[in-house]
Chain A
Amino acid sequence: MPNIELRGAHKSYGGQTANAVSDLNLEIGDGEFMCLLGPSGCGKTTTLRMIAGLENLSGGEIRIGDRVVDSVGKGIFVPPEQRQLGLVFQSYALWPHLTIERNTDFGLRLRKVPKAEREQRVNAVMKVLDIEKYRHRYPSQLSGGQQQRVALARMLAVNPNVLLLDEPLSNLDARLRLEMRAELKALHAAFKTTIVFVTHDQWEAMTLATTIAVMNEGTLQQMGTPDDIYERPANRFVAEFVGSPPINILEVSAETLSGPATAMSAYLRNRFGALVSVGSVGIRPEALHISEIGQSVPDGAFAVEGNVSGVLPTGGSWILELQCADGTFFLTTHQPPETTSGTPVTVWAESKALHVFDPAGRRMEEADRLLRPERKIAAVSTIKGLTASAG
């Protein structure tokens, strides 16, 4: 049974023409770690706030467990204080006038939990998050990372079924962020809570989530496992948003497909004559390889000649900038490149590394069938959400 379900959820603010969230269908299973990923302004935080009840819907329905918490059609709205959720804010929103201990047991006091049990719960959660020693301090006396832990402890103390996190790590420095990520993952494993996590940081989403929902301009772009999102982006937006350095995109138009304009169009025409309506092809930087001119490339690979125009070491890995007739490519490698700027090379990628999109930017399933014969395409056709989205 899905723990949280959004059906046709819709949010518009008065006066604005564009919807903050349009027709969103989302199922978040029990115990799942779901990341809402997208650029700022894509509606992910609004979605989270609607689940929490801090924003009401303009249309559609939200269900938590068996309970409809917000439904315009049924005239139901359960206020946030009755939804029994946890929410960690980006700013942490600790109460500055209360000590860490009082911050943590606030929810338990509201629920009139007996003192002994309250203390035991607070101690337990403080211990897990390692903030016992600060219990009598005030939030302003703690560092950002410590405040973050208190914000988490405050919500975990009441043991919510669902924990919502609104970019909770974005105010931390890089090292702390890494630590907290590991900790969040461990917490998820320990508490088995359903977690919905909002972030614009793709690495955060990749490392933490069991499922990622990519959003843009208020609509859901793709929902799937981190691997799915990376390996099989559903459209150009997802392909370009996820991955760093970003995916290389080669524009292919109907005219170039029929003529010899670019290496890619020639390649597509030669190998897959059936593919006529291609809009663009994406290749991840790490899927690109270079060889000396004249050396053979694997069978069926896409290859184009070009020049190395820049070698950018990034510590342990390298980014190569390559100028080809088809445009500029970026290539990442963990092998020290034995080449310098200006060297002519053959740039190539295996056919299964190509992501083919139609002119509207949608992933072309038929291209996958041709380019990746070894993969089980069947997985795509059993999508549960596809029917939900049509309804």
Chain B
Amino acid sequence: MSYVAPASDVISKSEAQPRPSRRTLLKYRLRVAMREPTSLLGVVMALIFTYLILVPILSMLVQAATVQFGDERRTALETASWTFYYLNRTFFSAISRDLFWEPLANTLTVAAGAIAIAMVIGTPLAWLLSRTDMFARRWFATALIVPYMLPAWTFALAWTTLFKNRTVGGQPGWLEALGFAPPDWLAYGRVPITIILALHYTPFIILLFGSALRRFDSQLEDSARILGARSYQVAWQIILPLMRPALLSAIILIFAKCLGEFGVPYVLGLPVKFEVLSTSLFRNIASRQTGVGAVIAGSIMLIGVVTLMIDAKLVREARRFVTIGSKGTMNRLSRLGAWRWPLTLFAAAIFVLSVCMPILTLVLSTVMRQPANFALDNFTLDYWIGSDLETVALRTGILLSPDLWAAAWNTLWIVGSASITSGIFGLLVGYVVVRTPFRPLSTFLRQVTFLPYLVPGIAFAAAYLSLFAVARGPVPALYGTVWILILALMADQMPYASRAGISAMMQLGKDPEEAAQIAGAGWFRRMVSVVIPIQKGSLVTGVLLPFISGIKGLSLFVILAVPSTDVLTTFSLRLVDYHYTQAANGVVLIIAAMAYFGTVAAQKLTKTNIAEGLGG
């Protein structure tokens, strides 16, 4: 049998074949599309996420421009008619200064200050950890990341425990109790908020800048040395310029995080009426100013979107600096010589300041009756396990309080079910995005699940409130139930979950699944016996990491939770409000312990590094 082609050039003769009719063509296409439910699954998920992510955000934006219930008289318009009233009120009215402009200025200055301090501390630490022979380098590499694993307002509570003065009632701070009255500027407001955020986000710089330093091609450095450059010249003229994109990226991420930060300014700003955007939003929502709240939430969102767009641009630009060599990336260490001890002490000091001191303060505060009285009889375990305390409410130690256990149980199952759902959804989104032959569906799913990333948690919560506060169509009013929390949390976690799912599916490739298909396995069978078992590891990560960040999360809960759906974070915040200092600190310590040990366990279990889960 032999066959000789008529020519080497391509001669298409498809017109020689009978053209199939339109109907058969449609039938054929349908049959091919229906051969597996991937696209169907994709459409269902696109609908779910449109409803859970897109609609709340749009509904909130609509609220900013329509008359809200109760505002008819003030606006002289019908409810739900279009109006510029809220925009005017927020941006141009007599109270716009208090509502928006001052909080905005405060947000920006606090963020700028925090970034500056984090840079000053973080860059040298990143260099010490990744490129020098500092003592206990590996230990510090983990220890200095701890502040990021703990909720930021742990530090805020530690700060008040130390510096609280008589401006606010309740137990005085330690300094006050020792006879030094800290001034207001030190006790509350801008200075402590800035310092705490700086300490909390320094790990960002260490992680992002450090990993860029480690990947840096040392051949670039060597070339400069061979041409006669001294160390400082190499650092200033070669390394730093090339590191700029990584550094800028870290800065922008910190800024985006500061924008949505609620707990710290809430605890430390309120006593002196120091407001940032997130607390202003909270106050407006708490006082039922939903229209203005929507405008502020929209503004936070807008700033967030712009910031992350800048970041995306920088990341693209950073790719042009191809510093990731294959050969020269060995990690060569600089010898510190005489500076080895002093610099190690510097790192140790930062660790003491950002981890030991706050934790120790909190721990001590929960076992002392009077602040800063170190006499032995002042120590007690009553606040943990005591009963019949001489307090108005909460007459038992917190470990014996049913409220704590109810809140802990709520936390576990609300955050747990949200994380498990988002983890599974994330994998399915990844599957559809990678596999569907229908490109627009893939793009839409990828983008809609990423959207919450651009929206600070507090604005996202506000969006949820606006959509689910009242019954709409078949969906009952969810406010006050756990469902709104689970849904909001799940949607909020989707960016991480879907990104994890997409990258896992990309890595898997098509082959193992196609091999199963050839072997005779249908779609469902392939999912159950091949895809999900192979992705078990990434599924665990995709559930655990959001779970941990959910446990310490505050901004979503503070707006959406009610006393019956109390979680640990809102429970402790209420204790702070009622000045049950010891109990509040105790609960915060419990949260911090859960977050820390959870992270450590997740890392052990999945052999991943927190740096990878640190998209933002």
Residues of A at the B interface (CB closer than 8 Å) are: 8, 10, 19, 22-23, 27, 29, 52, 54, 56, 59-60, 71-77, 79-87, 89, 91-98, 106-107, 110-111, 154-155, 158, 211, 213, 216-225, 228, 234-237, 360-363, 379-380, 383-386, 388-389, 391
B:10-53 near A, CB below 8 Å = 10-14, 16-18, 20, 24-25, 27-28, 31-32, 35-36
A220 touches B10 (CB 8 A): no
A220 touches B12 (CB 8 A): no
Q: Which residue of A lies closest to B6 (CB)?
A: A389
Among B2, B31, B36, contact of A379 (Cβ-Cβ < 8 Å) = B2
Among B11, B24, B35, B525, contact of A110 (Cβ-Cβ < 8 Å) = B525
Q: Is B509 an interface residue (CB 8 A)?
A: yes
B2 touches A216 (CB 8 A): no
Q: Is B520 an interface residue (CB 8 A)?
A: yes
Q: Which residue of B lies closest to A363 (CB)?
A: B4
Q: What B residues does A216 contact at CB under 8 A?
A: 8
B14 touches A93 (CB 8 A): no
- Nearest first, the 6 closest Cβ-Cβ pairs linking A and B are A385-B3, A93-B511, A223-B3, A75-B27, A107-B519, A224-B2
Q: What A residues does B27 contact at CB under 8 A?
A: 75
B14 touches A383 (CB 8 A): no
Q: What A residues does B1 contact at CB under 8 A?
A: 27, 29, 211, 223-224, 384-385
- A–B complex contacts, Cβ < 8 Å, 20 sampled: A22-B12, A23-B14, A56-B32, A73-B17, A75-B25, A77-B31, A80-B517, A81-B520, A81-B521, A81-B522, A158-B519, A211-B1, A218-B10, A222-B3, A223-B1, A360-B7, A360-B8, A362-B6, A383-B4, A385-B2
Among B5, B17, B514, contact of A89 (Cβ-Cβ < 8 Å) = B514
Q: What B residues does A228 contact at CB under 8 A?
A: 2
B534 touches A95 (CB 8 A): yes
Q: Which residue of B lies closest to A82 (CB)?
A: B520
Q: What A residues does B308 contact at CB under 8 A?
A: none
Q: Is B536 an interface residue (CB 8 A)?
A: yes
CB distance from A363 to the nearest CB of B (A): 7
Q: Which residue of B lies closest to A29 (CB)?
A: B1
CB distance from B281 to the nearest CB of A (A): 45
B4 touches A110 (CB 8 A): no
Among B2, B11, B525, contact of A383 (Cβ-Cβ < 8 Å) = B2
A95 touches B14 (CB 8 A): no
A154 touches B512 (CB 8 A): no
A23 touches B534 (CB 8 A): no
Among A72, A95, A110, A213, contact of B28 (Cβ-Cβ < 8 Å) = A72
Among A77, A91, A379, contact of B35 (Cβ-Cβ < 8 Å) = A77
Q: What A residues does B509 contact at CB under 8 A?
A: 91
Q: Is B533 an interface residue (CB 8 A)?
A: yes
Q: Which residue of B lies closest to A110 (CB)?
A: B520
Q: Which residue of A lies closest to B534 (CB)?
A: A97
CB distance from B44 to the nearest CB of A (A): 21
A80 touches B512 (CB 8 A): no
Q: What A residues does B534 contact at CB under 8 A?
A: 95-97
CB distance from A154 to the nearest CB of B (A): 7
| Most chain A CB within a 10 A radius of its CB, from B35, B509, B511, B518 | B518
A219 touches B2 (CB 8 A): no
The answer to whether residues A87 and B515 also contact, given A225-B2, A228-B2 and a CB cut-off of 8 A, is: yes
Alpha-carbon gap, A93 to B531, bound state (A):
12
CB distance from A16 to the nearest CB of B (A): 13
Q: Which residue of A lies closest to B5 (CB)?
A: A221
A54 touches B10 (CB 8 A): no
Q: What B residues does A60 contact at CB under 8 A?
A: 14, 17
Alpha-carbon gap, A221 to B6, bound state (A):
8
Q: Which residue of A lies closest to B533 (CB)?
A: A97
A362 touches B8 (CB 8 A): yes
Q: Is B516 an interface residue (CB 8 A)?
A: yes
| Most chain A CB within a 10 A radius of its CB, from B11, B516, B522, B533 | B516
Alpha-carbon gap, A87 to B518, bound state (A):
7
Alpha-carbon gap, A184 to B12, bound state (A):
35
Report the tally of A-B residue pairs with Cβ distances under 8 A: 170
Q: What B residues does A220 contact at CB under 8 A?
A: 3, 5
Q: What A residues does B511 contact at CB under 8 A?
A: 89, 91-93
B3 touches A106 (CB 8 A): no
CB distance from B431 to the nearest CB of A (A): 16
Alpha-carbon gap, A273 to B35, bound state (A):
61
Q: What B residues does A360 contact at CB under 8 A?
A: 7-9
The answer to whether residues A362 and B520 also contact, given A224-B1, A384-B1 and a CB cut-off of 8 A, is: no
Q: Which residue of B lies closest to A219 (CB)?
A: B10
Q: What A residues does B36 contact at CB under 8 A?
A: 79
Alpha-carbon gap, A84 to B24, bound state (A):
25
B:491-542 near A, CB below 8 Å = 509, 511-512, 514-522, 525, 529-530, 533-534, 536
A75 touches B14 (CB 8 A): no
Alpha-carbon gap, A260 to B13, bound state (A):
41
B7 touches A235 (CB 8 A): yes
Q: What B residues does A361 contact at CB under 8 A?
A: 7-9
Query: Apart from A77-B35, A80-B518, A383-B3, what 16 extra A-B contacts exist at CB < 8 Å?
Result: A8-B17, A23-B14, A59-B14, A59-B17, A73-B17, A75-B31, A79-B36, A87-B518, A89-B515, A93-B515, A95-B534, A155-B518, A360-B7, A362-B6, A385-B2, A386-B4
Q: What B residues does A385 contact at CB under 8 A?
A: 1-4
CB distance from B64 to the nearest CB of A (A): 40
The answer to whether residues A85 and B518 also contact, given A222-B4, A361-B7, A389-B3 and a CB cut-off of 8 A, is: yes
Q: What B residues does A83 contact at CB under 8 A?
A: 518
CB distance from A375 to the nearest CB of B (A): 14
The answer to whether residues A23 and B5 also contact, given A73-B20, A80-B518, A158-B519 and a CB cut-off of 8 A, is: no
CB distance from B440 to the nearest CB of A (A): 12
Q: What B residues does A223 contact at CB under 8 A?
A: 1-3
CB distance from A212 to the nearest CB of B (A): 10
Alpha-carbon gap, A72 to B23, bound state (A):
11
A106 touches B516 (CB 8 A): yes
CB distance from B506 to the nearest CB of A (A): 14
Q: What B residues does A71 contact at CB under 8 A?
A: 28
Q: What A residues does B529 contact at CB under 8 A?
A: 106
Alpha-carbon gap, A149 to B14, bound state (A):
40
Q: What B residues does A52 contact at CB under 8 A?
A: 518
Q: Which residue of A lies closest to B10 (CB)?
A: A219
A93 touches B512 (CB 8 A): yes
Alpha-carbon gap, A23 to B6, bound state (A):
13
Q: What B residues does A89 contact at CB under 8 A?
A: 511, 514-515
Among B12, B24, B533, contact of A74 (Cβ-Cβ < 8 Å) = B24
B12 touches A95 (CB 8 A): no
CB distance from B81 to the nearest CB of A (A): 46
Q: What A residues does B514 contact at CB under 8 A?
A: 54, 80, 87, 89, 93
Alpha-carbon gap, A156 to B529, bound state (A):
20
Q: Which residue of A lies closest to B21 (CB)?
A: A73
Q: What A residues does B517 contact at CB under 8 A?
A: 54, 79-81
Alpha-carbon gap, A294 to B24, bound state (A):
73
| Most chain B CB within a 10 A radius of its CB, from A75, A237, A391 | A75
Q: What B residues does A27 contact at CB under 8 A?
A: 1
A10 touches B518 (CB 8 A): no
The answer to whether residues A380 and B2 also contact, given A72-B28, A107-B520 and a CB cut-off of 8 A, is: yes
CB distance from A382 to the nearest CB of B (A): 8
The answer to whether residues A380 and B4 also contact, given A60-B17, A154-B519 and a CB cut-off of 8 A, is: yes
B5 touches A222 (CB 8 A): yes
A386 touches B3 (CB 8 A): yes
CB distance from B429 to the nearest CB of A (A): 22
B519 touches A110 (CB 8 A): yes
CB distance from A51 to the nearest CB of B (A): 11
Alpha-carbon gap, A56 to B35, bound state (A):
11
CB distance from B11 to the nearest CB of A (A): 8
CB distance from B175 to the nearest CB of A (A): 58
| Most chain A CB within a 10 A radius of its CB, from B3, B11, B16, B18 | B3
B515 touches A95 (CB 8 A): yes
